[in-house]
Amino acid sequence: MDTWALLIAATLNAGTVLAIAALGLLVNERAGVVNLGAEGLMLVAALAGFATAVHTGSDWLAFGAGALAGAALAAVFGVLVIWLNTNQYASGLALSLFGAGFSAFAGIRYTQEKLASRPHFEIPGLADLPFVGPALFRQHPMVYAAMLLSVALAWFLYRSRAGLVLRAVGESPESAHALGYPVRRIRLAAVVVGGALCGVAGAYLSVVYTPLWVEGMVAGKGWIALALTTFATWRPARVLLGAYLFGGVTMLQFQLQGEGVQIPSQLLTMLPYLATVLVLVLISRNPTWIRVNMPASLGKPFFPGS
Amino acid sequence: MLRLEARAQPSRAMSVASPLIALALTVLIGVALFAVLGKDPLRGLQMFFVEPLKSGYALSELAIKATPLVLIALGLAVCFRANVWNIGAEGQFILGAIFAGGVAMQAQADTGRWIVVAILAAGVLGGMLWAGIVALLRDRFNANEILVSLMLVYVAVQLLGYLVYGPWKDPHGYNFPQTISFLEPTRIPRLVSGLRANVGVIVALVAALAVWAFMFRSFSGFALQVGGLAPAAARYAGFSSRRALWTALLLSGGLAGLAGALEAAGPLGQLTPHVPSGYGFAAIIVAFVGRLHPLGSVLSAVLMSMFYIGGELAQSRLGLPKSITGVFQGLLLFSLLACDTLIHYRVRRAGGAAAHEPARSGAAQGA
């Protein structure tokens, strides 16, 4: 019983990294921009966050540093693809490759660093409930923040005027432009917000979840987050659900290893990646389903006056 | 304020000049980076652009690194021209090495040299298998090839780890995660005795010629590029997009697998967890910097190898982390993409002539 509660807790924790990043990417993609640089963004942000935590001891400053790093890199990417009309896929890849190289280069001195042990969080009263206490109410505040974020994002996208404009920019930039909305600035803002959220996810990974800095530590989570937006057919609540599903797969792998199941650890480590492929296959095999849900101008550049 | 104005036709001159401007930009940033790190920028540049060309030995090392980059980039150039986004070449490279290693481990001391051919064929097969999965899932289930090919990289890394930590571990290897050293008959023949460069260099150059002929002298290559540039036109002409998908992926997978086999049976001589060395990702940059052209890919692969060797030298002689290579590689691609804007647009002062219709369509951007 207790192991199950801990497994649920660990799943939520693991899913949080993916959820925050994927919700950020959802904002980009709703505005019509695919950012394949998520992995690189998260690496640089993970380093920025970790370094900040080492020097200041503050988690919240670390998240801020991660957000800033993510936003700054995303802004470079955004200017390239939105104003210079560079290919979105190639530019995103460039960002991923640069982020991997840069974080490895700049992070060397932090590979030996350790963070002081993290404070333990619990929600007074609720944390002591049997089962649900340890399962749900002893999490880092960021876990709850991710849940709130998905609700807030759903409200923003479907209930607010600004969200409607954002979706319009992703569905039909020509119409939005004709109505007088600054399509390119809105897209840039969406890209920067998306980058900042990926940055927070990266910082959460290195400061709270792991917590340490290792070269390449994001290990594909940026790419899995990209897959999650497709999986969730670009809906915030489903992104959250998908993130926990993948968090669960990751945890299942550790659980099986811990119980001494006779499967080589490498094969278990493959699980989240294989699960991503499987999920993509299942969700994509109905092209109409994807076409109906995908922002219509996703990945297409917009050049006003054309 | 400056503004971009679409050119009536893409500029051919800029298409050639853009990689050079991008390289110049990268060098400039590099000089600044060296200065910030308190290293002599001139000595830094020397590590990257002079030392790798200095001697026969240096050139041989350069060729060793350039060979896999050329092979992989050739395949990626075909893919990207067909608008097929295979970014999992690293995984296909690993599978090539695994398949090649599997054959190489069967060799006995008296096995004939023919086994080298079998090893290379196995590598090609391994790469094609891994890329074939991507093609199958894309073709049959419409699954995004970017994400699938990338996820398979992680799977390939784990598969290699499983083999060298498990069933393929050298029983006399002091428990290190490595296979036995492949026996002499399996070794890729060297070009000059005493230098590590092997016939892989020739294989890569022949492959470049073959890919050139495929791209520009074969109907199938033509159809594939039309499909990438203008899917609607290709459909109207009756060119099969499925065929293009399979051709591009199997070709690039096979070439990446070949590169993996040459690496495993060449410079490495055994399988270890360090087989994946990022060539599959660096080759993406090589392909773009080489203008998705076979000749350009050869040139830019040499450049990228200089980055690799320069990084190693910067580590041993200047005390800088080797990962500086990755920084420069990323910067090069970034600057290239920014400079490429000038192929299709010219920079004008705002308030000048009215903007023309942009010459590019969305499809032409591959997005």
What tens digit of pLDDT does each residue of A57-91 get? 899 999 999 999 999 999 999 999 998 888 898 89
Contacts of B323 in chain A (CB under 8 A): 101, 104-105, 108, 215
C-alpha dihedral, B206 to B209 to B211 to B212, nearest 10°: 170
Given this model, what pLDDT does residue A27 score? 97
Instruction: Identify all chain A residues contacting B341, using CB atoms and an 8 Å cutoff.
Output: 84-86
CATH number, domain with residue A193 = 1.10.3470
Identify the domain containing residue B297 by its residue range: 2-365
Q: Note the pLDDT of residue B351.
A: 56
Instruction: Please state whether the predicted TM-score (pTM) of the whole model is above 0.95.
Output: no
Taking an 8 Å cut-off on Cβ atoms, the answer to whether B333 and A97 are in contact is: yes
Which candidate in A109, A284, A288 is best for mutational testing of the B interface (most B CBs within 10 A)? A284
* A chain contacts of residue B321, beta-carbon cutoff 8 Å: 104-105, 108
Q: Would you write out chain B's pLDDT as a tens digit for each of its 367 residues?
A: 677 788 888 888 888 889 999 999 999 999 999 999 888 999 999 999 999 999 999 999 999 999 999 999 999 999 999 999 999 999 999 999 999 999 999 999 888 999 999 999 999 999 999 999 999 999 999 999 999 999 999 999 999 999 999 999 999 888 899 999 999 999 999 998 889 999 999 999 999 999 999 999 999 999 999 998 888 999 999 999 999 999 999 999 999 999 999 999 999 999 999 999 899 999 999 999 999 999 999 999 999 999 999 999 999 999 888 888 989 999 999 899 989 888 888 888 765 444 444 444 444 443 3
The answer to whether the CB atoms of B85 and A299 lie below 8 A apart is no
The Cα-based distances of B26 to B15, B19, B327, B342, B358 in angstroms read 17, 10, 10, 17, 29
Half-sphere CA count of A131, side-chain side, radius 13 A: 2
- Structural domains counted in chain B: 1
**Amino acid present at B39:** K
pLDDT of res. B275: 93
In degrees rounded to 5, what are phi and psi of residue B4?
A: -95, 140
- B-chain residues within 8 Å CB-CB of A274? 151, 155
B332: domain CATH number is: 1.10.3470
Distance CA A38, CA A41 (A): 5
Per residue in A191-242, pLDDT tens? 999 999 999 999 999 999 989 999 999 999 999 999 999 889 999 999 999 9
Residue carrying the six token digits 């401007």: B21
Mutate to test the interface with A, among B165, B337, B356 (most CBs of A within 10 A): B337
Whether residues A93 and B341 touch (CB distance < 8 A) is answered with no
The one-character DSSP state at B52 is G
* Residue among A107, A119, A34 at smallest CA distance from A69: A107
Host domain of residue A90: 2-293
Interface of A with B in 240-279 (CB under 8 A): 264, 266-267, 269-270, 273-274, 276-277
Facing residue for A280 by CB, picked from B147, B334, B344: B147
Please, what is the angle between helix B279-289 and helix B294-318, to 10°? 130
Q: Which residues of B touch A101 (CB under 8 A)?
A: 323-330
Hey, what are A150's tokens? 């998905």
ipTM: 0.90
Rounded to whole angstroms, how far apart are CA atoms B299 and B257? 21
Q: Could you say which residues from 169 to 228 on chain A have a Cβ atom under 8 Å away from some Cβ of chain B?
A: 215, 219-220, 223-224, 226-227
Q: Is residue A220 part of a domain?
A: yes
Question: Which residues of B are less than 8 Å from A93 in CB distance?
Answer: 87, 284, 333
Number of domains making up chain A? 1
| Min distance A114 CA to chain B CA atoms (Å) | 21
Put simply, the answer to whether A101 touches B329 (Cβ < 8 Å) is yes
Q: Terminal CA-to-CA distance of chain A, rounded, Å? A: 62
Of A88, A100, A230, nearest to B367 by CB-CB distance is: A88
Which of B140, B147, B288 lies nearest to residue A276, judging by beta carbons?
Answer: B147
Residues 6+ away with beta carbon under 8 Å from A88? A33, A34, A35, A36, A81, A299, A301, B365, B367
Instruction: Show the low-confidence residues of chain A (pLDDT under 70).
Output: 1, 305-306
Cβ contacts of B325 on chain A, cutoff 8 Å: 101
Instruction: State the smallest CA–CA distance between residue B86 and chain A in angstroms.
Output: 11
Q: Write out residues 102-141 of A within 8 Å (CB-CB) of B.
A: 102, 104-105, 108
Does a structural domain hold residue A305?
A: no
What are the beta bridge partners of residue B58? Answer: none
Distance, in Å, from the CA atom of B37 to the CA atom of B327, rounded to the nearest integer, reads 14
Residues 224-243 in A contacting B (C-alpha not used; CB under 8 Å): 224, 226-227, 230
**What is the three-class DSSP state of B150?**
helix
Q: What is the pLDDT of residue B66?
A: 97
Which of B138, B147, B328 best tests the A interface by mutation, with the highest count of A CBs <10 A? Answer: B147
Residues A282 and A276: their CA atoms lie apart, in Å, by 10
DSSP character string of B94-124: HHHHHHHHHHHTT--TT--TTHHHHHHHHHH
d(CA B278, CA B328): 14
| Nearest Cα residue in chain B from A268 | B158
Cβ burial of B20 (10 Å; 0-12, 13-18, 19+) is exposed
